[in-house]
Amino acid sequence: MADLFETSLPPSGLLAEFDWAFNSWLTSKQTAGDKVTAASLDLYRKMWQTFCRWCVGQEPPIRLPAVTREDVRQFATKPSLHDASEALSPRYVWRLLDLVEKVLAHLARSESRPYESVAEQVLQDQERWRYANAADKDPLPQYLSAGDAALLVTYLSAARPRQARPAVQTWQELRNRTAVALMLGAGLTPGEVRAAQVGDVVVAGGRTKDVPWKVRVAPGRAGGARETPIAPWAGQLLQYWLQVRIHEGIPGQHLLPSTRTGKPWKSHVAQYDAIKLVMRGSGLDPSLEKGGSFRLRHTFALRQLRRGQADAVVAAWLGVEVAEIARYHRVVFSAAWDVV
């Protein structure tokens, strides 16, 4: 007779589901060029097995698509529930929940279903964990919220003429909005925007005919030569700017010149003031003007990570080391960046 108090093993199908999700996430990470050392891989597997054991040990067992924020909170705040002999260190919890978040998000994408962050919010709710993976506990990167990003995108896009709506009045105003669009919609730095050339804009091969879809960036302070994608709305604005540039007869190869004669936009102070005017004109709170240019770039990076791009890919687009992407993972992920 079977022992009525014996703990039965979880269904093999449930274990296979956890194994498949982890292996699929790992494969996508490696395919994207992320190098995983043997030591890191061993740690990832142990962490995932810990989460797996806890989920299948619940009554009833918890399937991955059904994991909730409260499940993750219970798992992280009660170590005894997942067979831990001692309290987990804040850094270990950070890495564990970060892994859970990534695998769950990857699983949702692979199944073409929406995903609402569960582990990231738990990290943010606990101060002792929030900055645990940051060596210097530096502040979170500044970024635009969903509403602020939508407001700015609408304002920038209004520069394009449409039926019953005139375009902006001057080429300088359109240039300024295009500069903001390249920071928010392509992640360029202020210096890269000033240095951009007409020939850096890539039109061929895009999804929409004649609309720019990526931009080449010359080597600079943010890294070596690279290419970065342009958000569709930003590509449309850039397309209109190129048309106006020709219509105005602006000579030279500088994409966003300082004068109508085609002189380069050298003054970072003048550019900063121009960006500030655009942000203010959009109706954004004046407090968001602080760090405005890089706030836009950070928002671009967060949007790409939210969409599931690998750290190595986003780092390449930004021209930074992969290790620098870790700071973005400390930001609460939501649908905030889907609009940019």
pLDDT per position as a tens digit, 202-242: 999 999 999 999 999 988 655 578 999 999 999 999 999 99
123 and 159 within one domain: no
- Helices 292-306 and 268-281 cross at an angle (nearest 10°) of 70
Confirm if 225 and 322 have CB atoms less than 8 A apart: no
Alpha-carbon distances of 58 from 25, 51, 63, 66, 324, rounded to whole Å: 24, 11, 10, 13, 37
Of 96, 130, 164, the residue that ends a domain is: 130
> Nearest CA to 305 among 176, 154, 143?
143
Query: Around Cβ 29, how many Cβ atoms within 10 Å?
Result: 18
> What backbone torsions phi and psi does residue 197 show, to the nearest 5 degrees?
-110, 160
169 and 209 within one domain: yes
The CATH number of residue 255's host domain is 1.10.443.10
Tell me the residue range of the domain where 51 lies.
12-130
Longest dimension (CA), the chain: 93
275 and 227 within one domain: yes
- pLDDT tops 50 at residue 59: yes
Confirm if 25 and 107 have CB atoms less than 8 A apart: yes
Report the range of poorest mean pLDDT among 18-32, 87-101, 139-153: 87-101
Distance CA 294, CA 277 (A): 15
The CATH number of residue 22's host domain is 1.10.150
Confirm if 183 and 297 have CB atoms less than 8 A apart: yes
Confirm if 183 and 296 have CB atoms less than 8 A apart: yes
More confident position, 48 or 78? 48
**Is this model's pTM higher than 0.75 or not?**
no
